[in-house]
Amino acid sequence: MTMLRIAVPNKGSLSAASSQLLADAGYNARRESAELVITDVENDIEFFFLRPRDIAVYVGSGRLDLGITGRDLLLDSNAAAAELLPLGYAHATFRYAAPEGALADVAELQGRRIATSFPALVRADLAGRGVTPASIVTLDGAVETAVRLGVADAVADVVETGRTLRAAGLELLGEPVLRSEAIIIAKRGAELSTSHERLLRRVQGVLVARRYVMMDYDVPSAVLEKACDITPGYESPTISPLQREDWVAVRAMVPRVEVNRTMDDLWDLGARGILVSGIQACRL
């Protein structure tokens, strides 16, 4: 069996969180310095550190088995690669923007010059709307400045907080073109081997452990059904007997963001001894 080969972002917004995710999944993908390739002998995997924008190209060509990149970068690449798993970080939207008060909606991009680092994505989106721009000006970054410097009338760019846009005197135009986040990709149509699947399962385990906590509580049997409606668990809550009659213990996974509301609801229902603990790792 050949070694699994994975592409990992070497720079930018995706880089640190991707290395952390792999480390949490038990892989030795820590770069001491500027290594371009790291071999994790124990797990029989090679990690190739590449520019996020290039990762879809390598994976689409079949030279690397899997890669971590951004959904927006994948869609802009036209590579023969497909999304396998969203990773829950590097969340951003991709949007049009124009000088404040200049344009009313996306249709008014007709006949305008649009600056972007994602020309294929923009071309496809505008074609889908039947809008023909005068030109698409492809820039490497700091796209927001293109309007002020007179090389474009509007921009299409990654927006997280919107701070960069506002600072450049631009306002959003229309709804987001897409919502992006970090994703794992594979060659389109490729069959997944057991070692691919093992890596995906490990990463999924980390994501679930990050998203959920374990909740334990005691509740009168009379309201058990209502309690289980509040904490349905990931699959199904575990119910155990208590020595105290007419009470049971319940154990269920709860989304981290809902922990406090869930505890309030359980308390109001009559549950007591509510304990919350973190999940270190899991396979579900």
Ligand X SMILES: Nc1ncnc2c1ncn2[C@@H]1O[C@H](COP(=O)(O)OP(=O)(O)OP(=O)(O)O)[C@@H](O)[C@H]1O
180 binds, among ligand X, ligand PRP, none (CB under 5 to 8 A by kind): ligand X
- Taking CB under 6 A as the binding criterion, the range among 160-168, 172-180, 183-191, 275-283 that sits at the site for ligand PRP is 160-168
Among 40, 72, 125, 157, binds ligand PRP (CB under 6 A): 157
CB of 83 to ligand PRP, least distance (A): 21
Element (H, E) at 128: helix 119-129
Alpha carbons 240 and 26: distance in angstroms, whole number: 33
Alpha carbons 57 and 197: distance in angstroms, whole number: 21
- The answer to whether residue 141 forms part of the interface with ligand PRP (CB under 6 A) is yes
- The answer to whether residue 220 forms part of the interface with ligand X (CB under 6 A) is no
| 116 DSSP 8-state letter | E
Closer residue to ligand PRP in complex, CB, 36/142: 142
How far is Cα of residue 20 from the mean position of the Cα atoms in its chain?
14
Answer yes or no: are the C-beta atoms of 137 and 114 closer than 8 Å. yes
Degrees to nearest 5, angle at CA 88 with 84 and 94: 85
Answer yes or no: are the C-beta atoms of 128 and 177 closer than 8 Å. no
Among 7, 68, 147, 158, binds ligand X (CB under 6 A): 158
- The answer to whether residue 141 forms part of the interface with ligand X (CB under 6 A) is yes
- Taking CB under 6 A as the binding criterion, the range among 19-27, 34-42, 69-77, 154-162 that sits at the site for ligand PRP is 154-162
Answer yes or no: are the C-beta atoms of 252 and 217 closer than 8 Å. no
72 binds, among ligand PRP, ligand X, none (CB under 5 to 8 A by kind): ligand X
- The answer to whether residue 159 forms part of the interface with ligand PRP (CB under 6 A) is yes
Per the DSSP assignment, residues forming a β-bridge with 113 are 135
- Taking CB under 6 A as the binding criterion, the range among 34-42, 68-76, 129-137, 156-164 that sits at the site for ligand PRP is 156-164
Closer residue to ligand PRP in complex, CB, 147/263: 147
Among 6, 7, 8, 14, binds ligand X (CB under 6 A): 14
- The answer to whether residue 116 forms part of the interface with ligand X (CB under 6 A) is no
Which residue, 124, 140, 11, is CA-closest to 68? 11
- Taking CB under 6 A as the binding criterion, the range among 136-144, 245-253, 255-263, 270-278 that sits at the site for ligand PRP is 136-144
Helix (H, G, I), strand (E, B), or coil: what is residue 11? coil
Distances (CA, A) of 4 to 40, 62, 196, 250: 10, 12, 7, 41
- The answer to whether residue 176 forms part of the interface with ligand X (CB under 6 A) is no
Closer residue to ligand X in complex, CB, 4/75: 75
Query: Would you tell me how many other CB atoms lie within 10 Å of the CB of residue 156?
Result: 27
Question: Positive or negative CA dihedral for 231, 234, 235, 239?
Answer: negative
| 27 DSSP 8-state letter | -
125 binds, among ligand X, ligand PRP, none (CB under 5 to 8 A by kind): none
State the residues that interact with ligand X by CB under 6 A: 11-14, 52, 70, 72-73, 90, 92, 141, 158, 160, 180
State the residues that interact with ligand PRP by CB under 6 A: 141-144, 157-164
